[in-house]
Structure 1
Amino acid sequence: MSMSNIRLENSTVLEQAFNYVFYYTQLCTFYC
């Protein structure tokens, strides 16, 4: 169970990082 919890945390962190980068690339397209 602890492994699955860590996996869930890692997946959420990866998703947040991906959304963060995607959001700023969109901002760059708007501003650049």
Structure 2
Amino acid sequence: MPPWWIKLHMTKETFLSGIALLFRYHLCGL
């Protein structure tokens, strides 16, 4: 597995985690 794929996967995981946190925070804000 090339390093760029690992980096891309890590970025994707971080992005999804950020979206989940923002979505949860938005629901709590409501």
Extract structure 1 runs of 4+ deviating beyond 2 A: none
How many residues are treated as equivalent by the alignment?
Answer: 28
Question: AA paired with 1:10?
Answer: K
**TM-score normalised according to structure 2 size:** 0.86
Shift of 1:9: 0.3
Quick one: which amino acid aligns to residue 8 of structure 2?
Answer: I
TM-score (norm 1): 0.82
1:15 corresponds to: 17
C-alpha RMSD of the superposition: 0.4
Gaps of 5+ in 1: none
- Counterpart-to-counterpart distance in 2, 1:2 and 1:21: 28
